[in-house]
Structure 1
Amino acid sequence: MKKEFAVIGLGRFGGSICKTLSDQGMEVLAIDIDEEKVNEYANVASHAVVGDSMDEGVLKSLGIRNFDHVIVAIGDNIQASILTTLILKELGVEKITVKAQNDYHAKVLSKIGANFIVHPERDMGRRIANNMISNSVLDYLELSEEHSIVELVASKRMAGNTLIELDIRAKYGINIVAIKRDRDIIVSPQASETIQEGDVLIVIGADADINRFENKFASA
């Protein structure tokens, strides 16, 4: 059964979400106050409408409370973002994801009931920085201020050892949740799994622990 999404705000972030969801076959309602942006996504989204999301009557008329998930991707207008989120919450929308401009904005969104808060610029900056710092880091996804999921390339030091021999969980407090090997993905690998050089390890844990593990095994 297709899920129904509404994306409010069709800037680079909202537009990217709209296109990706549509490409995945989801039903997407695209909303923006700017008619030019709406026209740009008219052939991308299932429906694209010009509307002021700060007007409760507009959102009601669109049946917004019936959507499975609403994404508030409004750009620089923090007031519009907060008021839109508040209206969505009062209308009974079950899942609301909101783009935050800064930490203060995020705190307000959290207090008024946003289910998910994202910091796309900050998170992308951290991902790029982490990728630049280490040759072994392929990707980085922040889970909280102190925990992340990281893709690490297995070095020669790891190669030939099983997970139980490396004893990663006990020594470093992190978990390898999957291994990418060529085109295969090994999910929840067994303790007997032998690491091969070039494997991509998908690691979850505290940043400090991941850094300790990486520093130990990063060099060849």
Structure 2
Amino acid sequence: MANAHRTFAVIGLGTFGSTVAKELARFGDYVIGVDISERAVAAVADDISYAVIADARDEAALRETGLGDCDVALIAIGEDLESNVLATINARMVGVKTVWAKAINRTHHRILSKLGAERVILPEEEVGLSIAQVLHNPRMRNFLSMGNGFHVVNFIVPEKLEGKALVDLALMDKFKLRSLGVMRGTDFLGGDAENPTLKAEDKLILLGRRGDLRDFAASL
């Protein structure tokens, strides 16, 4: 399993888990996929490093998969709360250093956090928040939570800002936002230090709190 890349285990190979597993493998990482369903395992077997049928509720079965050698385990089991919780515990028991887990609601989130999961994901809620932001303001294309109330957002520059220098927007003074840079097509133009002149349809990459980002969007 020696590899220049990191090693991951994905437990639960439904739509969410299989998507993560295949994408990690595409990046060149070593990925072990685990599911109790033969069909789910067969569906990803050709796309990841190693796919195995195993019951994640059974610590011994997980240990046999080599899971303990992985840098990170993602518990991607969906609606089966018991299996999800036991898989999280067992991943810890077999020696995985970092465990991420999928939750189905806030109560489940608290349970997984108490069990020591480094990060607990609420995929439907996180995607829902992102979609709502984009629907509300069509010029906001990507919405990424950074924790502690901060988000990174791509804004499509409107025609009214054409020809303005980035520094003239006074983002920090007016909106308490930090510019991370500007993308023009595939070119990165940098942030305030380079002070690019904006063109319509540029992507303005901003870091800030949701309320401040909303105020900036409203000003456009």
TM above 0.5: yes
Alignment match, 2:107: 104
Q: Report if aligned partners of 1:149, 1:203 keep a CA contact under 8 Å in 2.
A: yes
Give distance in 2, aligned partners of 1:159 and 1:111. 50
Query: Does the residue aligned with 1:88 lie in a helix, a strand or coil?
Result: helix
State the match for 2:169 in structure 1: 166
Which blocks of at least 5 consecutive residues in structure 1 are unaligned? Answer: none
Query: How far apart are residue 9 of structure 1 and its match?
Result: 0.3
Q: Please, which of 84, 88, 99 is the counterpart of residue 87 of structure 2? A: 84
Q: Is the 8 A contact 2:33 2:52 kept in 1?
A: yes
**Counterpart of 2:183?**
180
Whether the aligned pair in 1 keeps the contact of 2:189 and 2:196 (CA below 8 Å) is no
Give percent identity, aligned residues only: 29
Give the C-alpha shift of residue 193 in structure 1.
2.4
1:151 paired to 2:144: no
Does residue 1:8 correspond to 2:1, yes or no?
no
Partners of 1:179 and 1:189 within 8 A in 2: no
With structure 2 as the length reference, what TM-score do the two structures score? Answer: 0.92
**Further displaced range: 128-137 or 67-76:** 128-137
**Number of the residue aligned with 1:57:** 60
2: distance between equivalents of 1:165 and 1:107? 44
CA RMSD of aligned residues (A): 1.6
Alignment-mate amino acid for residue 33 of structure 1: I
Quote the offset at 1:114 in angstroms. 0.6
- Report if aligned partners of 1:162, 1:193 keep a CA contact under 8 Å in 2: yes
Q: Return the TM-score normalized by structure 1.
A: 0.92
Give me the whole-angstrom Cα distance separating, in 2, the residues matched to 1:76 and 1:143. Answer: 26
Q: List gaps (5 residues or longer) in structure 2.
A: none
What residue is the counterpart of 1:21 in the other structure?
24
Q: Bigger shift: 127-136 or 156-165? A: 156-165
The separation in 2 between residues aligned to 1:132 and 1:89, in whole angstroms, is 39
